[in-house]
Structure 1
């Protein structure tokens, strides 16, 4: 895809770099010592207008986008233009956010903190259920996905070069554009130690470039819990695909929002948990039953 420019009035962002992998020596079951790579998890403490907000445990691949998406998904900001700048300094492990006019009612917005099931200490400020009325997703008539398109998405992710292949222990998330005629295009991919960090980074990328979610599908290697479903809905994405499973609360939330959830999705296999009306099924041929022939003595 062509390079995208930030939206007018977008915040100034640093481009902080850090090592994503660390080499260590291990002892295996054969008594042999060898070198392997592991993800370089590190803390990033976020300050907003000099007020300490939260410490995120992250791989650090795109820390500025992670912070921007975190602020959006926590509803601390509504538009990225509210932020003047985000400065990340790995020497001190901090991200300094400067806003133009401060965060309105920040005390109230951060008073109710729920520790979620997320890897890397996922947190949700406030009650996600109270935000349902503010979510607007496109109708099933305009936002759909074919089974063949889903297969193409899964094949794209199967071929994706990733840190997980080298070192494991990370989650990956991707945003796909759904095209007329059943095509799809991978728009952005990111990995982090927690699935919440990965989806927040994608939310930050979308906000920075003014990209809407109505004609998009979101892919994650992590399980679809209520907070992951809510974050996808806040991004305006009606179709979510996971290599993992779906929790009961995630399913309930998606059903109420009219979202289509796919889980256990890998290769040509998947389960559609909700939102059947958005899915154009193209069923695979049924496998012939395996006959067991009894052998005589």
Structure 2
């Protein structure tokens, strides 16, 4: 299959960008991860230390793997929450991206099998397995990794979900990567972080508002509480400060339409909510990950 055919099929499946690169062993990325872990920057995310060898070598995830297909799904919206509403990261405005992106990846995966007329062996990943998604996206020519450690696409910016297919699929040609980093001397994302969690190209999860409001199970430290402001679920500070997001285009994904409850509920509305109401309003959304009790803790 030609590369352009693959990209067209990805577009038909609803993706905003797509690239494919051959499987390689990512020794440099493994070493960088091990240094990050050694500094304790993973905080309570102990799973980050698991299956490092599979992160380094995708062939250990998928036997006989030949290629890594990478997709981007834009989720940017210009909508803003009501001034009285506690602030959530934009990715939580709509449905859970894991399900939405996976559904599209399965469609793309099926279309590859139909086109080649043979069974392709592979697996699909959306932020839920030991995969260096950002590095594969960079290698696939979908952008560069910014100082906030996020992938930045030159037209879409950084408000994108990354989807990956690792398989024995082999296209006629591979994507050419742009290795240049276009952040230049800009340091706005690092300066914008309310808690100082960012150093260039690295995040200290212990200080990160997203980690503390979503992943952290015990009490949030007083230092983080003081600097969270009105944020209660995630944080977009570094992305909002990035000049490459000034021209971000609006998403076209129906499932990411803003949930009116997220946009308008006040602090008191959240604190007064019971479990049944929470499930009714926020089933199949990112809010189910921490659950209502931890959300109330954050607020």
TM-score normalised to structure 2 length: 0.25
**Higher strand share goes to which structure?**
1
**Higher helix share goes to which structure?**
2
Q: Which protein has greater RCO, CA pairs closer than 8 Å, 6+ apart? A: 2
TM-score normalised to structure 1 length: 0.25
Max Rg structure: 1
